[in-house]
Structure 1
Amino acid sequence: MNKDATLRFERSFAADGHRFVAGADEVGRGALAGPVSVGMVVVDTLGAKHLKGVRDSKLLAPVERELLVPRIRSWAAAWAVGHASAAEIDELGLTSALRLAGTRAWLQITAVARPDIVILDGNYNWLSPAQASLFDAVGADADSAGCDAPVRTRIKADLQCLSVAAASVLAKVERDALMAGLALEHPGYGWEVNKGYATEAHRTAILAQGACEFHRRSWRLAPVLPDGL
């Protein structure tokens, strides 16, 4: 039986004076089409109460995720979802595009509440601004407006930490809605079902009708055919 995420880890930072804790998670990393999206949810560790039913978005049915969205928004001290487009992924690479989407979410939440610390799902901090190269011109770092709070990575944070699980739900629902809308404009790829991910049917559709502007053209999109076909 799947258990709800809790605030136990978030509250562990209170001893160090960190009252406002943000959880962050991404969706769309492995898709062939559409944006990569980063959700952020800020909780006030002194006042936030448990929010029942919230767990990693992958463990919830679509209707369950959608019903949770207004509850999460009301519960959170601040929330946001940032996106980086397929074209930006092609131009910048996936890691930098993740940071760009995270920066867009960060700028939205800091207009409401500034986190003292951020919990990031996984074991790699792709959110903090990249260090400028010694060969870069002064001020050339485009990430300078990004997250300037300490970041703590945690494997399976989306399963354990309520703020991160809530962020994953918001990001998943918003990105899925974007892909369903794009499916109406670009029928044939099945985005209303596969949400841009690499299903066999999606790859076959790309082979049949070609890629469109919302595909990540720097990725291997179509299936590799056997020699002679």
Structure 2
Amino acid sequence: MTQPDMSFENAARAEGFLRIAGVDEVGRGPLAGPVMAAAVMLDPVRVPLGLNDSKVLCETRRSALVTELEGCAQIGLGTASVAEIDSHNILRASHIAMLRAVAALPEPPDFLLIDGNLLPRGLTLPARAVVKGDSRSVSIAAASIVAKIRRDYIMRDLAQHFPGYGWETNAGYPTKSHKAALTSLGVTPHHRRSFKPVHNILYQAKNPTP
């Protein structure tokens, strides 16, 4: 399995950039909850060991790495709400969250490494899009871990107010039990109405079969 390294960061430094932030988002696929982005600017001499795509790490390891990152890196967080997801689309909302995360960094970066194949509209900084960046760049990997931990926390909190959907374990993703709960319990204010399973349930409620 490919391990992320400093290749992209080193290439940017070779071009004269000093403050390089990795940017990633979490939460494009769920039926509920916001999309969360993180921007992480690592100290090149204090890079935590074991940074990788958040999806290949267990929760315990992710939490430990976030604690370590909070002590040695600069972190910015940004979200896009369910209303923004439904108003725009999930890709545009993800990019909005990324721009907010970059703006929330304690110090402004001068170069961005962004996960994916597209750069957000409205970006004013030099940047590079990196496909599968969370498994190739340590800065993007760090951002993926921070975003995952923070979004999971939000979903666990929402689960306390809207029990029955399993958000504390499924984080709003369309598991079988989550979709069954949608049918039996109905749609909450935190569900993405533009997503097909939620849209279909709302449509059926308005247009019951005779």
User: 2: CA distance between counterparts of 1:123 and 1:115?
Assistant: 20
Structure 2: stretches of 5+ with no match in the other structure: 202-208
Give per-residue Cα distances to partners, 1:119-151, cap 9 Å, x unaligned: 1111122x241xxxxxxxxxxxxxxxxx41112
Give per-residue Cα distances to partners, 1:138-188, cap 9 Å, x unaligned: xxxxxxxxx411120111210011100000000000000000010010001
Task: State the Cα distance separating 1:103 from its structure 2 match.
Answer: 2.1
- Tell me the equivalent position of 2:166: 190
User: 1: CA distance between counterparts of 2:126 and 2:77?
Assistant: 20
Number of corresponding residues: 203
User: 2: CA distance between counterparts of 1:216 and 1:33?
Assistant: 5
| TM-score normalised per structure 1 | 0.82
User: 1: CA distance between counterparts of 2:30 and 2:148?
Assistant: 13
Residue pair 1:207, 1:223 contacting (<8 A) in 2 also: no
User: 2: CA distance between counterparts of 1:118 and 1:150?
Assistant: 6
Residue pair 2:26, 2:147 contacting (<8 A) in 1 also: yes
Return the letter of the residue paired with 2:107: A
- Tell me the equivalent position of 2:86: 90
- Tell me the equivalent position of 2:96: 100
**Secondary structure at the counterpart of residue 104 of structure 2:** helix
User: 2: CA distance between counterparts of 1:28 and 1:157?
Assistant: 16
Structure 1 runs, 4 residues or longer, greater than 4 Å off? 222-225
Residue pair 1:203, 1:223 contacting (<8 A) in 2 also: no
Structure 1: stretches of 5+ with no match in the other structure: 130-146
User: 1: CA distance between counterparts of 2:7 and 2:193?
Assistant: 42
User: 1: CA distance between counterparts of 2:41 and 2:198?
Assistant: 39
Matched, 1:54 2:51: yes
Matched, 1:207 2:206: no
Candidates 142, 148, 156, aligned match of 1:180: 156
User: 2: CA distance between counterparts of 1:39 and 1:128?
Assistant: 17
* Alignment map for 1:1-229 (pairs within 5 Å): 2=1, 4-44=3-43, 47-76=44-73, 78-109=74-105, 112-125=106-119, 127-129=120-122, 147-222=123-198
| TM-score normalised per structure 2 | 0.90
